[in-house]
Structure 1
Amino acid sequence: MTISRRALLTALAATPVLSACGGVSTTGTTGSGGITLMSNQFSPVEEKQRFEQILKKAPVPVAFNQVETGIFASTLTTQVAAKKVQISVAGALHGDLAPHSDRLTDLDDLLGTLGDRGFPQELTDLAKLGGGTTKYIPWMQASYVLAVNKKALEWLPSGADVQKLTYDQLLDWATKGRAGNGGKPILGIPAGVKGLYHRFFQGFLLPSFTGGQITTFRSAEAVTAWEYMKELWAQTARGSTNYDNLQEPLQRGEVLVGFDHVARLVGAPGDKPDDWLMVPAPSGPKGLGYMLVLAGLGIPQGAPDVAKAKQVITALTTPDVQLEVLKQNAFFPVTNAPVPADLPGAVGLAQKAIKGQREAPNAILSLPPVGLGARDGEVGQIFKNCFKEICLDGKPVRQVLDAQATELNKILAELKIPCWQPDPAGAECKAG
């Protein structure tokens, strides 16, 4: 991911890194006996440097070759096709690994040795990339949640549990909060130019109302979801269209409740975590839709040193390393690593909210779009267009959804990719 986690770093106490068993080369090459880990994660310089320090725990020297998503895809494709593979481990988001299923080594044997990690079944199922064998080992995860300044709780609807909200209750809360706050909205969303508000529609609102993301794009239930969004927007801070992240307006007190990626929220509590809550997303008619941001570690076909690659993946899934990645770079464990009680307050709050979403009995797991590659931005823009035309411009919902579905289907027809969760796996990916 490319989102900044600088605010998190100010909240985290520095944790000593264990002495190295092998060195890390920042040039992308290793010395004798080392391997290369190529990844499109941790692109900010500070994140890359911190992860290189974490890699010093590995049992062999590891060169961390951080690249952009397009280069990740082209390098993996080219090297495997030419049978001149220099990469031993490939680390990326689920959606970036999915197009390379036939270029990745089967890892059922490695997963079998990691039974004590306690990977959730849904993650190991995803790691099969639609096939019958494991293609990557889960590495780290993140999601989006609601951050709540406790000042806003005075307007929470009677009988509502802030940890188990419905979308109707969220609307009621925002409406009462605005009225009780002198007409100033208490709710904000990251609808700025660099905001991730399209992920709210893709992974939360639409799955909760329709059970899907793409195949239900212009369904009657989707119309209901967007009509709801119009009502919610009427009670939302207009400054939201300038918010690239929510933690800054939350810190300033411009809004008291906000939805965003956890890494863009954890700075909000500052040095007063007791004044804040982070809670799961609301539930809709179909359930609690939530977006899982999952990264995995695979081994390319023809990798130069498979045995050492497996040793490194094993090391990166140990409890101490999983927690080190959480503390340093804001990705949460995918294992049963016990999260210590002395984590910085904001991180602990976020961890509980993510766990609450995942373990909710009505949870609907959603993924960021899979297999779109460089065109992910175009698909994201379609959801942003829906918001602009429906909520800002006041156009009829049905008219907007039909028009945007046509544009979405043009892209999907060119890509010819199967659908991703929560839509039926393997189904024709077409906006319906």
Structure 2
Amino acid sequence: MRSLLTGTALGGVLGALTVGFAAMAWPQGQDAPAPPEDPRVATYQQIELFAEIFARAQRDYVVPIDEREAMESAINGMLTSLDPHSSYMDPEDFRSLQVQTSGEYGGLGIEVTMEDGFVKVISPIDDTPAERAGIQPGDYITEINGQPIIGQTLNDAVKEMRGEKGTEIEITILREGVDPFQVTLVRDVVQQKSVTWKKEANDIAYIRVSTFNERTGTLLEEAVEGINREIGARPKGIVLDLRNNGGGLLDEAVKVSDFFLSGGEVVSTQGRRPIDVERRNATKAEVFKDVPLVVLINGGSASASEIVAGALQDRGRALVVGTTSFGKGSVQSVIPLGADRGAIRLTTARYYTPSGRSIQALGIEPDIMITPVRLTEEELAKIQRFSEADLPHALANESGIERAKLRMPDEQPPEGFEGEDFQLDRALQLLQEGRASASRLAMQEDKAG
């Protein structure tokens, strides 16, 4: 009924415009100006075009088409053309998303996106089949069980990768610098225990946050209680590891930031209209107040991870160490469409760090750039970047600032380094040396000197 009323009203408006302009006289030799085009007219014309094409496909395609699947694909195509993070979810996909954000599902354990027709890995999740198999950020998945991914949607590919615990799946990986290779994985229940911690030397607490799901804030609170029991209320320092954390729920990012801040802004979001502004503030008492804090990030740190790193960096609470983050500075809303109709995931806002900067397509630049492996300038020049800015249809940064060029790191592993994690080693050393208490300005002065 609503569509019919809208269409009738539009027809009335068009009729009035036609009669009005027909009754007017214009000087000889001058063309009458074209009537202003009502944007609704163009929209309805495009909908009519779509309906005509859909009807022709129904009638004339060589075999009968699955009408529901064709319609869902058309809707999804419209949304994915907007940006890489907007999409349509059919009812099954929507249920899967709800399961995933609750923290447990059957599958491989990877955060993925779609690029150039292939599934591209943003980051593997800790202690999952994908992480144990050595899947890396930036890997392309080109085949699943011998079947090419080209032509599938991201949702279709994700469905194929999920499954019951104990079942096998073979994926073909395309990785820069090596020939394509196959990996056989055994699906498992992906229990996203998103927060873990351990005691390091000299009473330093290491906290790992691997994703931001519905339980992340609660699990961090449990970790804090454990640190209080085993180390005490004032550890010598804290490392907050957000590397390869592909993001998650905005609310949980705010909760995590709140643990380390005494009031003040964590993040703001700006929607399409000037009035669509929301500011999220820290509200709880800061735990481990004045305890030196280092945050570890890398190219797999995205979205909610960048909110936390950006807030702690801007507020001068933490020293951010590692490599430039992914650069996803947008917020998606999941909008249910009613019973058995699925939902849409739609980009509805950009987010900004407390200083007002947008990291969209730029990422968070660390205070000290430390690479996990040793690089020469020649090797640096050959690196193929993988970030938000490289995704098809990615939103531009509205500030006009261009992404920083790759540069040689401030620090990298020495020749012959035999440790497991140079970035973490250096974070611990910075805390032991008292350098994590220095302001970013002081760190920059040290580098300049």
Which category of TM-score, normalised to the shorter sequence, fits these structures?
A: under 0.3
Question: Going by fraction, where is strand more abundant, 1 or 2?
Answer: 2
Which has the higher relative contact order, 1 or 2, with Cα contacts under 8 A spaced 6 or more apart?
Answer: 1
Return the index of the structure with the highest Cα Rg: 2
Q: TM-score, normalised by structure 1?
A: 0.23
Question: Going by fraction, where is helix more abundant, 1 or 2?
Answer: 1
